[in-house]
Amino acid sequence: MNNVLLNMHPSASSFIARSKEKAFDLKHRATINFNIGKYNLAVPRGKSQFQDIELARQMAKNAKWNAIEHLDAMLLEFEKKITENGAKVIWAEDAEEALQEIGKICREKECRTIVKSKSMVTEEIHLNKFLEENGIESVETDLGEYIQQMDDEPPYHIVTPAMHKSKEEIAALFAEKLGVEENLPPSELTLVARNVLRKKFAEASVGITGANFIVSDIGGIAITENEGNARLSVSLPETTIVVAGIEKVIPSMDDLELFWPLLSTFGTGQFVTAYNTIITGPKQKKEADGPAEMYVILLDNGRTNLLANEKVREALYCIRCGACLNACPVYKNIGGHSYETTYSGPIGSIITPHLRGMKEFKHLSYASSLCGNCTEVCPVRINLHELLLENRAESVSEGYTDFSERAMWKVWKMATLRRKTYNMGSGVLKNAFVNRFFKAWTQYRGHLDFAPKTFNEMWREKNRKK
């Protein structure tokens, strides 16, 4: 984080407060570091399936580059193909349009219960809150999401929503909310959830899911999961609604043989997840199961802001594996909820200012050590740490800095560009000056420690002795 936080927007102030609280919560840090540790052990095994992992990453990046650079054509091709199979495609410019369309469908179907598979884009538009306000029960069917819904919390992580909870905390939650015995082991808790959710699948008249990939050439929605709940959500109810961000496009079905293993490896460390499904429309005449009707809502909600920005457009390549979150030292210390956004960690810090406003969320781009570990682990080789810097530059160029910050950096620039000025005073004097008068800087950091002598001074002394 930087001095940009001195004149804080309320969202930045809240971020600082929550980060400070979580950074000193040792139990919280122990839980997420334990779970990320298990992830770190699993990923190398997943990578072993690739003969050349770096080549696979580059091929995936090339495919996403192709998709994003030709996004208009590929989305239209997808619409044409899936419409031919009987699905209805709805284009939503923002969250409000998407919610109104979903509400309209639910009213037409006289829906009272919806089952949802895990979907970050529905979290983005706050779908559960909207449905509740309209008297519709919305049930999360992914186990992690179900736990979070019971505890009235948003997802903590893109892939593992309840990563921050220990098995003891989850057992206590089940006992409180579902009236089961206390201290049940995870295997029995899973069976409890399964029994509850199976009834909901039977009751629901509408099923809602997201999309891991939009497959352009066949007009398909590709979903990857480990629990089978997404497959049930799109096959048991009479009506299926898919909500997908427009950036989820990949050019061809053939690309799935690369993207599915990459997403599994970098998301959970698996070779491939347990259930992989492609939906190309509602139930056809000769098919035995599937929904009678299918709707696909293609959501913009700020994504075209990223598309129009050539320097940050690369962020749209993201396949939502969560690897950058698990690698980020900031995320591992402050946790997912501190960001107060749908998408947390490095990728969330990049895209949120463009999706929801640079002025309100510029602070997220400063919540990084710029160590580059996020870039190192990204399966599609997004230059994440460079995009964080680009966001910082854009926030300054757009004028989202106050007078005191601009004046401070101007003085700093003048000092560093004039050698005589920079050499004035000893390291001890500089330490005392900076650490005493720039307390906003040192409040959340260690004290600055200048070297006793500058390199310039040492160089001159060395050459005098010769």
User: Model confidence over 230-247: pLDDT tens digits?
Assistant: 999 999 999 999 999 999
- Give kind and range of the element (H or E) at residue 122: helix 120-124
User: Which of 246, 273, 303 is where one domain is finished?
Assistant: 303
156 and 195 in a single domain? The answer is yes
pLDDT digits (tens, 9 = 90+) for 11-34: 888 999 999 999 999 999 999 999
* Other beta carbons within 10 Å of 57: 19
161 and 108 in a single domain? The answer is yes
Q: Is 273 helix (H, G, I), strand (E, B) or coil?
A: coil
- At residue 374, the pLDDT reads 97
Q: Structural domain tally of the chain?
A: 3
373-383: average pLDDT: 98
Q: Which region among 346-355, 416-425, 434-443 has the lowest average model confidence (pLDDT)?
A: 434-443
**Whole-number Cα distances in Å, 214 to 127, 246, 381:** 21, 8, 20
- Give kind and range of the element (H or E) at residue 444: none
**Whole-number Cα distances in Å, 17 to 21, 292, 463:** 6, 49, 51
**Two structure tokens written together for 294:** 């299918």
DSSP states of 32-82 = HHHHHHHHHHHHHHHHTT-S-HHHHHHHHHHHHHHHHHTHHHHHHHHHHHH
13 within a domain of the structure (yes/no): yes
C-alpha–C-alpha distance, residues 376 and 456, integer Å? 34
250 and 139 in a single domain? The answer is yes
For residues 313 and 151, the answer to whether their CB atoms sit within 8 Å is no
223 within a domain of the structure (yes/no): yes
383 and 424 in a single domain? The answer is no
* Other beta carbons within 10 Å of 441: 18
C-alpha–C-alpha distance, residues 325 and 374, integer Å? 7
308 within a domain of the structure (yes/no): no
pLDDT band, residue 423 (cuts 50/70/90): confident
412 within a domain of the structure (yes/no): no
Q: Is 133 helix (H, G, I), strand (E, B) or coil?
A: helix
- At residue 5, the pLDDT reads 42
Average pLDDT of the chain to the nearest whole number: 92
29 within a domain of the structure (yes/no): no
232 and 262 in a single domain? The answer is yes
Letter for the amino acid at 302?
A: G
265-272: average pLDDT: 97
User: Which one, of 193, 252, 314, lies nearest residue 74 by Cα?
Assistant: 252
134 within a domain of the structure (yes/no): yes
- At residue 8, the pLDDT reads 60
18 and 83 in a single domain? The answer is no
Please give the residue range of the domain that contains residue 441.
Answer: 418-465
For residues 116 and 246, the answer to whether their CB atoms sit within 8 Å is no
- Give kind and range of the element (H or E) at residue 264: helix 256-268
pLDDT band, residue 466 (cuts 50/70/90): low
* Other beta carbons within 10 Å of 225: 19
Identify the CATH number of the domain in which residue 288 sits.
3.40.50.10420
287 and 336 in a single domain? The answer is no
81 within a domain of the structure (yes/no): yes
pLDDT digits (tens, 9 = 90+) for 196-213: 999 999 999 999 999 999
pLDDT band, residue 37 (cuts 50/70/90): very high
175 and 109 in a single domain? The answer is yes
297-325: average pLDDT: 97
160 and 54 in a single domain? The answer is yes
pLDDT band, residue 223 (cuts 50/70/90): very high
288 within a domain of the structure (yes/no): yes
Tokens 């696979």 map to which residue?
56
C-alpha–C-alpha distance, residues 454 and 463, integer Å? 15
229 and 123 in a single domain? The answer is yes
pLDDT band, residue 131 (cuts 50/70/90): very high
* 3-state DSSP helix/strand/coil % of the chain, to nearest 5: 60, 10, 30
- At residue 440, the pLDDT reads 67
Parallel/antiparallel/unpaired status of strands 249-250 and 213-215: parallel
367 and 246 in a single domain? The answer is no
Parallel/antiparallel/unpaired status of strands 213-215 and 220-225: antiparallel
DSSP states of 403-427 = HHHHHHHHHHHHHHH-HHHHHSS-H
170 and 86 in a single domain? The answer is yes
C-alpha–C-alpha distance, residues 287 and 15, integer Å? 51
